[in-house]
Amino acid sequence: MLLPGISCGFALLAFPFFLIGLKKSGLGNPPPEAVVAVPFLVPLALSGILGVALAKFDALDSVGEIPIYIAIRPMSNGGFVMAKIVMALATSALTWLLTVLAVCFWLALLVPGTLFSKAGSATAYGPMAFVIGCMPLLLLLVIMTWKNLLSGIGAGLTGRPWLVTVYTLCKSVLLGGFFVVFTVANFLPNFKESLLHWLPAVLVLWLAAKIAVSTGAFAWGLRRNAITPGAVGWIIGGWSLCGGFVAGYAALICHAVNKSDLWISSALAGFLILPLADLAIAPLALAWNQHR
């Protein structure tokens, strides 16, 4: 409950001071999307920080060893991982439900007219249609938060702090590399053109490698009875469903900004950022933890 509590607490306690500060600054009423960006960034950023903590058996315990009551549980490793997945999804949904309600409450109270100020331009059918139209974006935010919470679950369930550190460093280096590449591309047109040309092929190879690693981990887990075929089906089905939704949303955005040529890369990136290899490795990591 740490993520919903902090996110909702920020929206309830800090967001009104932000709105009051904007009103007193004399800058006028900023766009609603700019206003809500502040409290909406908190769950996304915080879920990335708390991701590794989800793999812990006790949030207050720094040791990653399996407690006795969990080690003798009448539940398979795959079932335990599925419980973690469902808990992460429920936490993400609850976080965004509370955050959105808190933000809407303060917008309606402190900035009258801002909440539905763009309803007329977004749809001709009134505020309710505007709210329904925002549901896909809310679902996308839930998926992204869920993804952040599950990131690193494979390393975390091993119970080995050094492995979690290595994973965190590798992830930081990878994100830093992306930032450097796209920053350089903005200043070098020729490099940007080459990057856009080869990007789909690179993403396809990366996605193929991810699927290959996941397939190998699932096969190994099935041979060791670390996971059941049903759990494998649920994980693959959930990943495919969420990836398809992200790909469809990417197509909508690319069409809206007249960048249809970027849709393939955006769709592939959507499948890549969603956890599959982490979830495939997680039951094996838990089995490794049991035999430490």
Q: Is the pLDDT of residue 209 over 90?
A: yes
Q: What are phi and psi of 187, to 5 degrees?
A: -100, -15
pLDDT in tens, 30-43: 555 666 777 888 88
Q: Is the pLDDT of residue 119 over 70?
A: no
What is the distance between the alpha carbons of residues 38 and 31, in angstroms, rounded to a whole number? 12
What is the distance between the alpha carbons of residues 204 and 201, in angstroms, rounded to a whole number? 5
* pTM of this structure: 0.81
What is the distance between the alpha carbons of residues 247 and 132, in angstroms, rounded to a whole number? 20
pLDDT in tens, 243-280: 888 888 887 787 777 777 778 888 888 888 888 888 99
Instruction: Count CB neighbours of 41 within 10 A.
Output: 11
Give one DSSP letter per residue of 119-153, joined into a string: HHHH-TT-HHHHHHHHHHHHHHHHHHHHHHHHTTH
Q: Is the pLDDT of residue 120 over 50?
A: no
Q: Residue 158, SS3?
A: coil
Q: Which is higher by pLDDT, 35 or 193?
A: 193
Structure tokens at 288: 């490794």
Tally of helices (H runs) and strands (E runs) in the chain: 13, 0
pLDDT value for 108: 77
pLDDT value for 131: 63
Q: Is the pLDDT of residue 185 over 50?
A: yes
